[in-house]
């Protein structure tokens, strides 16, 4: 076995072009991409929002209790005594005031500046880009909201949010206002189900919940992981491509002459691929770290976890090499076989997020990419960099081992018998 492994390693090491491509090219690409996109994912500075909202209040807030009482008697089939009692309690609750209090609360003051304007002025400022969006509170909104809350009927008037063109800022404003309205409707629904006539409006609670301590993930780290994994994946083609040269040199005949089992040829390919892929990724990660300081201040446990993931992915690359080698031995045109292998690896690279981040693809492509060995390894490495949770390695490890076993079975099934190669 040692002779077969030594043979494949020497075939690779004697090809200086392959060594340069495997080791130097990914480092060069990582450096170029890192400098080209420097600061794109810089997490040192907090991103702050500066949202400008024009609030146009056209609602007549006078005599709300009387208006609500009259509407309950006229349209809600409520007797005057009960309507008077409901209207009196409702006079202490004002959805419009609740909205003002919400927008001017401490949680939102740092993000949103509210300007109380008339509709014409607000529209002009929105058109000029001075204000992100305008919220119009139509006349009768308070009475309609309280009436709808008591009767469960849809209100005849509603808030109107207007903007010039859709942007991140006015989209955020819309989500905030929509969240408040949903909370208001939810409270009215709960009161109606419980049979309560109370109209206390509870402000929605916001804030940031820290789910767990995690390290930041930078663009330089993504480039390092993506390129290291991609070029390790190409090693499956590189090792299998040497099969063509060995076929021309009658290697199988030499194996038979030495009384060695032909299956050792395939096993030697897998073991050498595993060694080369492991060394390639290790060297790329270490060089990128020392040159670009990609993984600063990391512990020994972190590097041990990275080593485990590298080993598992290298095992998957070795299995892929076994499939490619068996196919090469059966095909007459080795160049055509190498072209097919390259196409397969390119598809895996795209689906796995090695060329572009996987989140730019549709959902079905993202789910498909999670089943590729490179996509799975990339995602688990990203998670390991941020959280270093050992439990996150269990399922990906089993999936990568399963991929290796599947490739091994396919490679052995396609491996030519005596006289077929």
For the domain that residue 81 is a member of, what is the CATH number? Answer: 3.40.190
Could you give the dihedral angle defined by the CA atoms of residues 192, 196, 198 and 200, in that order, rounded to the nearest 10 degrees?
Answer: -60
In which band, very low, low, confident or very high, does the pLDDT at 180 lie, cut at 50, 70 and 90? confident
End-of-domain residue from the set 178, 193, 208: 193
- Looking at per-residue pLDDT, the higher value among 325 and 246 belongs to 325
251 and 333, same domain (yes or no):
yes
31 and 81, same domain (yes or no):
no
End-of-domain residue from the set 130, 162, 193: 193
Establish if 198 belongs to a structural domain. Answer: no
Per mean pLDDT, which range of 3-12, 203-212, 278-287, 355-364 is the poorest? 203-212
Establish if 269 belongs to a structural domain. Answer: yes
Encoded tokens for 26: 């990914």
- Looking at per-residue pLDDT, the higher value among 96 and 236 belongs to 236
In which band, very low, low, confident or very high, does the pLDDT at 191 lie, cut at 50, 70 and 90? low
Q: How far apart are CA 348 and CA 408, in angstroms?
A: 18
* Whole-number pLDDT of residue 210: 41
CA angle (109, 115, 117) in 5-degree steps: 160
Establish if 176 belongs to a structural domain. Answer: yes
Q: How many CA atoms lie within 13 A of 71 on its CB side?
A: 23
Establish if 288 belongs to a structural domain. Answer: yes
159 and 271, same domain (yes or no):
no
List Cβ<8 Å contacts ≥24 apart for 77-82: none
Q: Which residues pair with 56 in a beta bridge?
A: 136
313 and 376, same domain (yes or no):
yes
Percent of the chain with pLDDT over 90: 21
406 and 259, same domain (yes or no):
yes
63 and 34, same domain (yes or no):
no
- Look at the chain and report how many structural domains it folds into: 2
* pLDDT, average across residues 115-137: 89
Q: Which residues of 143-180 are buried (b: 16+ CB within 10 A; e: fewer)?
A: bbbbbbbbbeeeeebebeeebbeeeebbebbbebbeeb
Establish if 404 belongs to a structural domain. Answer: yes
283 and 376, same domain (yes or no):
yes
Question: What is the extent of the structural domain holding 363?
Answer: 2-43+216-414
Longest dimension (CA), the chain: 109
Establish if 206 belongs to a structural domain. Answer: no
When the pLDDT of each residue in the chain is averaged and rounded to a whole number, the result is 80
Establish if 310 belongs to a structural domain. Answer: yes
* pLDDT, average across residues 67-94: 72
Contact 69, 149 (CB under 8 A): no
* pLDDT, average across residues 376-391: 88
């Amino acid at each position: 076995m040692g002779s077969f492994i030594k043979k494949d390693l020497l075939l690779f090491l004697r090809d200086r072009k392959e060594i340069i491509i495997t080791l130097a090219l990914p480092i060069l690409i990582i450096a170029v991409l890192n400098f080209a996109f420097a600061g794109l994912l810089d997490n040192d500075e907090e991103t702050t929002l500066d949202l400008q909202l024009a609030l146009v209040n056209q609602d007549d807030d006078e005599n709300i209790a009387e208006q609500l009482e009259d509407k309950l008697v006229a349209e809600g089939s409520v007797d005057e005594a009960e309507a008077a009692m409901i209207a009196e309690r409702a006079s202490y609750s004002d959805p419009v005031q609740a909205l003002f209090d919400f927008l001017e609360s401490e949680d939102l003051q740092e993000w949103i500046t509210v300007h109380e304007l008339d509709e014409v002025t607000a529209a002009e400022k929105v058109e000029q880009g001075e204000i992100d969006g305008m919220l119009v509170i139509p006349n009768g909104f308070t009475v309609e909201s309280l009436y709808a809350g008591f009767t469960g009927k849809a209100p005849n008037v509603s808030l109107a949010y207007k903007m010039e063109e859709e942007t991140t800022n006015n989209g955020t404003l819309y989500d905030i206002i929509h969240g408040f309205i949903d909370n208001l409707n939810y409270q009215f629904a709960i009161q109606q189900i419980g049979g309560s006539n109370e109209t206390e409006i509870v402000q929605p609670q916001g804030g940031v919940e820290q789910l767990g301590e995690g390290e930041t993930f930078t663009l330089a780290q993504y480039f390092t992981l993506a390129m290291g994994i991609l070029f390790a994946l190409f090693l499956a083609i590189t090792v299998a491509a040497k099969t063509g040269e060995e076929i021309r040199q009658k290697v199988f005949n030499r194996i038979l002459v030495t009384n060695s089992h032909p299956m050792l040829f395939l096993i030697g390919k897998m073991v050498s691929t595993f060694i080369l892929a492991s060394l390639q990724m290790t060297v790329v990660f270490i060089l990128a770290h020392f040159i670009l300081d990609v993984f600063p201040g990391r512990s020994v446990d972190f590097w041990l976890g990275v080593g485990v993931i590298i080993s598992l992915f290298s095992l998957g690359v070795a299995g892929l090499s076994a499939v490619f080698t068996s196919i090469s031995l059966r095909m007459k045109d080795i160049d055509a076989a190498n072209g097919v292998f390259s196409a397969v690896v390119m598809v895996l690279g795209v689906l796995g997020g090695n060329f572009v981040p996987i989140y730019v693809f549709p959902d079905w492509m993202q789910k498909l990419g999670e089943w590729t060995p490179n996509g799975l390894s990339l995602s688990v490495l990203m998670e390991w960099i941020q959280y270093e949770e050992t439990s996150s390695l269990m399922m990906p490890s089993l999936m990568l081992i399963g991929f290796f076993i599947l490739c091994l079975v396919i490679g052995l099934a396609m491996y030519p018998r005596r006289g077929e190669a």
